Amino acid sequence: MKKVFFFAAALVAAMTINAETVVDQIRFTEAAAAGTLVDSVFSGENELIDFEIIDEKEKFTIDNNSAYFGTKENYEQFSMRLRSNAKSEFVEGKHCQINVSAYEDGTLNIYVRTGSNSATDRNIVFAQGTDTLLNEVLLESNAVSYITEKNDTIKINPVYTIELKKGDYEITFPVGAINFYGFDFAADVQTAVDDLFAKKSKAQKVIENGQIFILKDNRKFNLLGAEVK
């Protein structure tokens, strides 16, 4: 059963008349054990982009882990991560990757770290067929130390940014496991705000018999993303 996760989105007005910059933010908010994320789809509320977990090894998990991403001037703290717990393989029964579908042209920010602090060769590859848009080795040494106003020393990891065209892509990690903390996708939509949200079906949270459910496109899901019939 495919699980669908919806996340809140930020709406930022652009300077161009009749154009809006809409930002879908993917953040991981609930723990998930190995084997429970097979064929899961993480989607922003505005449905600008989807991330589908291909996990034939049943290795992906979500757990608590604090990390900072950005720059010294502008950074964000993340509290949970999506762990691949395996490298990408491309043989039957062992496929392990993330498929990405962008429904508008836009800018993607990826918040990702290596799955091993001591590893110096683990990389993330973001591609569309044979066209590679990003191939970056993830090193813990890329993080910069910073002393906050509260006199706490933190390490801030870099954010990887890619310009995308509408289409389908793949994220792979051919050397070893890596950890994802979130994704942001910003797209300029040529329409008024009211029209934008009229066209896109929004998820609604409801309570039935003391339980919380998500309603989306006449379908009902529990908080783990499983559809409820």
pLDDT of res. 45: 83
Show the tokens assigned to 165: 């065209």
pLDDT of res. 198: 44
Show the tokens assigned to 105: 């042209």
Cα separation of 40 and 58, whole Å?
Answer: 11
pTM of the entire structure?
0.77
Q: Kindly report, residue by residue over 149-178, the tens digit of the pLDDT.
A: 889 999 999 999 999 999 999 999 999 999
Tokens 């496991």 locate to: 177
Cα separation of 78 and 156, whole Å?
Answer: 11
pLDDT of the chain, 229 residues: tens digit per residue = 455 555 545 544 444 345 678 899 999 999 999 999 998 999 888 889 999 999 999 999 999 999 999 999 999 999 999 999 999 998 888 899 999 999 999 999 999 999 999 999 999 999 999 999 999 999 999 999 999 988 999 999 999 999 999 999 999 999 999 999 999 999 987 654 444 444 445 566 565 655 666 676 677 766 556 667 7
Q: Which of 90, 183, 175, 161 is nearest to 124 (CA)?
A: 175
Cα separation of 225 and 156, whole Å?
Answer: 31
Count the Cβ atoms, other than its own, within 10 Å of residue 1: 8
pLDDT of res. 13: 44
Q: Kindly report, residue by residue over 55-66, the tens digit of the pLDDT.
A: 999 999 999 999
Cα separation of 84 and 98, whole Å?
Answer: 9
